A = this chain, B = another copy of it.
Amino acid sequence: MSYLKNETRLINPFTVTIDFAENIMLGADVHNERKASVMRGYYKDSAALEKIITDGNDPLHYETFEKHVPEEYGHLLFCISKIQPGLVGNEFFMTKGHYHTRVNTGEIYFCLQGQGYMVMKTPSGDFDAQKMTRGSMVYVPPYWGHRSVNTGTEPLTMFCVYPGDAGHNYGDIEIEGFPKRVYARKGSDLIE
């Protein structure tokens, strides 16, 4: 199919397995670990995060498992994202959060394990939080920056799919933050 060679790359079909008991991807070839120290600046209680880093020898905070697919228009990238349970002060463990480099691309998050929220914002200040439990499929539409928050006692594990040309933009979220945070409170979670 040489007439297509300047567009999307032609690759062969393949299969990975999502183990529903262990909530892992068998056949992944990329494993990204994010330790607690990469979260400096993201939580309200900086001192509580420093204590976690020191006491736990910079423990694992969240991780992704991926299979390499060309990062090009037409392909779909996918991953397993797993966030550890815990609190920084009274704020639940979460991911940094990101926009897509191509702002007009969405993402699908399919919750396999645990509970939490997909917290979202637009550059113009809109805010949304969708509750996730096993089986929830959250649609993060184009333009919405997004972060996952683990409010449970086990890992929050999600299967994610996004366009091959989406790209990740962490920088703008690092500067802007999110309009609201998710805190543990007796009886129910507090989003404020």
Contact = CB atoms under 8 A, between A and B. Distances in A.
A149 interface: no
Given A137-B15, A141-B11, A159-B110, A73 B131 contact: no
A103 interface: yes
Nearest to A18: B135
A15 B139 contact: yes
A87 interface: no
B108 A78 contact: yes
Nearest to A128: B13
Size range of the chain A interface in the assembly: 35 or more
A141 B70 CA distance: 10
Nearest to A17: B135
Given A104-B8, A122-B1, A78 B130 contact: no
Given A78-B108, A128-B12, A18 B137 contact: yes
A140 interface: yes
Contact of A75 (B76, B106, B130): B106
Interface string A4-25: 1001111111111111100001
A142 interface: yes
A137 B76 contact: no
A37 interface: no
A15 B74 contact: no
Contact of A141 (B13, B19, B20): B13
Contact of A120 (B1, B8, B13, B104): B13
21 contacts: A4-B104, A7-B104, A10-B142, A13-B118, A13-B128, A13-B138, A13-B140, A13-B141, A14-B138, A14-B139, A15-B138, A17-B135, A17-B137, A18-B137, A19-B135, A69-B139, A75-B141, A76-B107, A76-B139, A76-B163, A78-B137
